[in-house]
Chain A
Amino acid sequence: MLRGQLQCLSPRFLLFCSFPSSAASFSILILILLLLRRRRRRRLSELKNIAFSPFACFSRRFFVSGMEKERFFGGGWKSAHAGLLPEVSAFAGDEHLPHSFVGFGWEQPVHGQEAHAQQLESALSSLVSSPSSNAPDGNDSVVIRELIGRLGSICNSGNVSPSSRCHSAHASYYSTPLSSPPKLNLAGADHQRQRMLVNQVAAAPFLADQGFAERAARFSCFGAAEAGQLSRVSSRQSLAKEVAASYAMMAGSSSSPEASSASEKLTAVVAEHNARKRKAAPKGKGKAAAPSSSSAMDPPEEENSDSKRCKAAEAGGADKDAPVKPKTEQNSSDDGNAKPPEPPKDYIHVRARRGQATDSHSLAERVRREKISERMKLLQDLVPGCNKVTGKAVMLDEIINYVQSLQRQVEFLSMKLATLDPQLEFDTETLLSKEMHQVHVPLPQQVLFPLDMATSAFSLAQLPLKLAENPPDSMFSSLQLPPIDHLANLWEDDLRYVVQTGFPQSQEAPFSSGALRAE
Chain B
Amino acid sequence: MYRRSFKDTKSSLGSPNPNFSKPMVALRFLRALSLVRCSGPGARSPSYRARGIRRAAYACMAASAGPRRAWSRALLRKIRRRPGRGLRRPRAVIRRRRPVGGGDPLEVALRRLVPGGGCMEYCRLLEEAADYVKCLAMQVRLMQTIVDSASHVNSID
With A440-B22, A440-B23: A379-B67 Cβ-Cβ less than 8 Å = no
With A403-B132, A418-B53, A487-B39: A424-B150 Cβ-Cβ less than 8 Å = yes
Chain A residues touching B, range: 35 or more
Considering only residues 72-131 of chain A, those with a C-beta below 8 Å from chain B are none
Q: Which residue of A lies closest to B80 (CB)?
A: A478
User: In the complex, what's the smallest C-beta–C-beta distance from A455 to chain B, in angstroms?
Assistant: 9
Q: Which residue of A lies closest to B3 (CB)?
A: A470
Interface check B63, CB cutoff 8 A = yes
Considering only residues 381-429 of chain A, those with a C-beta below 8 Å from chain B are 382-383, 393, 396-397, 399-400, 402-404, 406-407, 409-411, 413-425, 427-428
Inter-chain contact B23/A335, CB cutoff 8 Å: no
Interface string of B70-81 (1 = CB under 8 A from A): 000100110110
Inter-chain contact A333/B101, CB cutoff 8 Å: yes
Residues on B with beta carbons closer than 8 Å to the beta carbon of A406 = 133, 136-137, 140
Residues on B with beta carbons closer than 8 Å to the beta carbon of A518 = 23
Inter-chain contact B110/A396, CB cutoff 8 Å: yes
Residues on A with beta carbons closer than 8 Å to the beta carbon of B107 = 335, 339, 396
Inter-chain contact B22/A443, CB cutoff 8 Å: yes
Inter-chain contact A484/B52, CB cutoff 8 Å: yes
Inter-chain contact A498/B34, CB cutoff 8 Å: yes
User: In the complex, what's the smallest C-beta–C-beta distance from A180 to chain B, in angstroms?
Assistant: 41
Inter-chain contact A423/B26, CB cutoff 8 Å: no
Interface check B32, CB cutoff 8 A = yes
With A406-B140, A425-B38: A444-B26 Cβ-Cβ less than 8 Å = no
Interface string of B105-123 (1 = CB under 8 A from A): 0110110011000000111
Q: Which residue of B lies closest to A452 (CB)?
A: B1
Inter-chain contact B143/A414, CB cutoff 8 Å: yes
Interface check A451, CB cutoff 8 A = yes
Residues on A with beta carbons closer than 8 Å to the beta carbon of B52 = 418, 483-485
Q: Which residue of B lies closest to A446 (CB)?
A: B8
* Complex CA–CA separation, A495 to B32 (angstroms): 10
Residues on A with beta carbons closer than 8 Å to the beta carbon of B143 = 409-410, 413-414, 417
* Complex CA–CA separation, A438 to B30 (angstroms): 14
* Complex CA–CA separation, A420 to B57 (angstroms): 16
Specify the main secondary structure of chain A where it touches its partner.
helix
Specify the main secondary structure of chain B where it touches its partner.
helix
Inter-chain contact B126/A333, CB cutoff 8 Å: no
Inter-chain contact A446/B9, CB cutoff 8 Å: yes
With A427-B153, A446-B12, A498-B34: A399-B55 Cβ-Cβ less than 8 Å = no
* Complex CA–CA separation, A470 to B7 (angstroms): 11
Interface check A467, CB cutoff 8 A = yes
* Complex CA–CA separation, A416 to B101 (angstroms): 40
With A399-B129, A486-B39: A475-B150 Cβ-Cβ less than 8 Å = no
* Complex CA–CA separation, A431 to B150 (angstroms): 7
Residues on A with beta carbons closer than 8 Å to the beta carbon of B41 = 421-422, 425
Interface check A64, CB cutoff 8 A = no
* Complex CA–CA separation, A383 to B110 (angstroms): 14
User: In the complex, what's the smallest C-beta–C-beta distance from B3 to chain A, in angstroms?
Assistant: 4
Count, chain B residues at interface, CB 8 A: 91
Considering only residues 85-143 of chain B, those with a C-beta below 8 Å from chain A are 98, 100-104, 106-107, 109-110, 113-114, 121-123, 126-127, 129-130, 132-134, 136-137, 139-140, 142-143
Inter-chain contact A453/B1, CB cutoff 8 Å: yes
Inter-chain contact A435/B53, CB cutoff 8 Å: no
Interface check A254, CB cutoff 8 A = no
* Complex CA–CA separation, A17 to B42 (angstroms): 97
* Complex CA–CA separation, A412 to B97 (angstroms): 35
Q: Which listed segment binds B: A146-154, A201-209, A367-375?
A: A367-375
* Complex CA–CA separation, A451 to B135 (angstroms): 20
* Complex CA–CA separation, A451 to B26 (angstroms): 12
Residues on B with beta carbons closer than 8 Å to the beta carbon of A419 = 46, 50
Inter-chain contact B98/A333, CB cutoff 8 Å: yes
Partner of A375, one of B73, B130, B132, B154: B130
* Complex CA–CA separation, A515 to B1 (angstroms): 14
Partner of B140, one of A335, A409, A416: A409
* Complex CA–CA separation, A483 to B79 (angstroms): 8
User: In the complex, what's the smallest C-beta–C-beta distance from A419 to chain B, in angstroms?
Assistant: 5
Residues on A with beta carbons closer than 8 Å to the beta carbon of B84 = 485
Interface string of B21-63 (1 = CB under 8 A from A): 1111111001111111111011000110111111111110011
* Complex CA–CA separation, A382 to B129 (angstroms): 10
Inter-chain contact B39/A471, CB cutoff 8 Å: no
Please, could you name 22 A-B residue pairs with CB atoms under 8 Å apart, sorted by A?
A335-B104, A335-B122, A372-B122, A379-B126, A379-B133, A382-B130, A382-B137, A406-B133, A409-B144, A418-B49, A421-B41, A425-B38, A425-B41, A430-B149, A431-B153, A438-B145, A442-B22, A450-B5, A453-B1, A470-B3, A475-B67, A475-B80
Interface pairs A-B: 9 shortest CB-CB: A446-B8, A375-B126, A418-B50, A470-B3, A334-B122, A414-B54, A418-B49, A414-B53, A339-B104
Chain B interface residues toward A at CB < 8 A: 1-6, 8-9, 12-13, 20-27, 30-39, 41-42, 46-47, 49-59, 62-63, 67, 73, 76-77, 79-80, 82-84, 98, 100-104, 106-107, 109-110, 113-114, 121-123, 126-127, 129-130, 132-134, 136-137, 139-140, 142-147, 149-151, 153-154
For the A-B complex with A335-B100, A415-B46, A466-B1 known, give 7 more contacts whose Cβ atoms are closer than 8 Å. A379-B126, A403-B113, A418-B53, A431-B149, A438-B145, A447-B23, A495-B31
